[in-house]
Amino acid sequence: MSILIDKNTRLLVQGITGSEGSFHTRQMLEYGTNIVAGVTPGKGGDWVLDGKIPVFDSVKMAVEATGANTSVIFVPARFAPDAIFEAADAGIPLIVCITEGIPVQDMMRVRIYLDQKNVRLIGPNCPGLLTPGESNVGIIPGDISMPGSIGVVSRSGTLTYEVLAALKQHGMGVSTCVGIGGDPINGTNFLDCLKMFEEDPYTEKVVLIGEIGGTDEERAAEYIADHMTKPVASFIAGQTAPPGKRMGHAGAIVEGGSGLAEDKIRALQEANVRVARHPEEIPELLV
């Protein structure tokens, strides 16, 4: 079982004819994801990937023709906000934006609009979603995980892959992995995912992968302490990062005395979360 995506997900790819979109669409298709359409303005009527996927000029046309219910976005940062707006206006309830480098001001406008439309956004600047054995929406390598009962939510793309691989090496499977992205303004956050995992009867344990910057992990710790009945293990990246330095993600910057790894770790431990010293230790903490 899973949250957000499964074998019934009908995916469309915005930016399918670009180099990134084309490459990752092929990977998702080979994994078994049900990709029903692509969208590139001006290229409607084409078929891509050996004639397997039709291309439309707009998301609205693609949805009307194929019944797509999820979109993944592989378009440049300057066009990504409009691509998100277009998907929302076409009635897509779940949008996954892989694009990085979208200005914070643009994302503030996007977030306000999506909240009014009751549309869920994953990302931007994220690796996407993986429900092992059923569907892969984004850029997470499908072969590093197997089906199981552990829910994973992460701000970091690379660490997500490390933890999934470590779980698989220990024979531990995943219900769904959600890469929420590390930007200051995003769609779905830790609290959203923790709530979904808590309510999912097929998720028995949860892994939370955080990093320095912001206070999302502290808020997650409060939610875990007050609402979670399932065991949670965690890893916080950036424990040796110097203050004032941006580390990888736009949101991973420590300033003004907030966003420190030690504060996040302390808050999680006080919520009875077992915090790993390194990603490979996560499976041991879940036994």
Q: Which of helix, strand or coil describes residue 208? A: strand
Residue 255 has pLDDT above 90, yes or no: no
Encoded amino acid at 203, one letter: T
| Helical packing angle, 80-89 and 59-66, nearest 10° | 40
By C-alpha distance, which of 117, 23, 108 is closest to 72?
23
pLDDT at residue 263 in the model: 93
Mean pLDDT for 113-119 is 96
Question: SS3 letters for 90-143?
Answer: CCCCEEEECCCCCCHHHHHHHHHHHHHHCCEEECCCCCEEEECCCEEEECCCHH
Taking residues 104-132, report their average pLDDT: 97
158: which residues sit within 8 A by CB, 6+ positions away? Answer: none
Residue recorded with tokens 């991973």: 252
Beta-carbon contacts of residue 256 (< 8 Å; ≥ 6 apart): none
The DSSP letter of residue 246 is B
Residue 278 among the catalytic residues: no
Euclidean distance between CA atoms 195 and 229, whole angstroms: 11
Taking 90 as the threshold, does the pLDDT of residue 241 lie above it?
Answer: no
Q: How far apart are CA 263 and CA 188, in angstroms?
A: 23
Taking only the tens place, the pLDDT of each residue in 52-89 is 999 999 999 999 999 999 999 999 999 999 999 999 99
- What percentage of residues in the chain have a pLDDT greater than 90? 89
The whole-angstrom separation of Cα 203 and Cα 188 is 19
Contact 144, 169 (CB under 8 A): no
CA atoms of 53 and 29, how far apart (whole Å): 10
pLDDT confidence of residue 247: 54
- pLDDT tens, position by position, 169-228: 999 999 999 999 999 999 999 999 999 999 999 999 999 999 998 899 999 999 999 999
Query: What does the longest C-alpha to C-alpha distance in the chain come to?
Result: 57
Q: What pLDDT does 258 receive?
A: 61
Nearest to 211 by CA among 229, 231, 184: 184
So what's the pLDDT on residue 242?
A: 64
The CB density around residue 158, as the number of other CB atoms within 10 Å, is: 12
- Selecting among 24, 227, 249, 278, the annotated active-site residue is 249
Domains and CATH numbers, the chain: 11-122 (3.40.50.720), 141-286 (3.40.50.261)
Quote the pTM value: 0.94
30's CB contacts (< 8 A; 6+ apart) are none
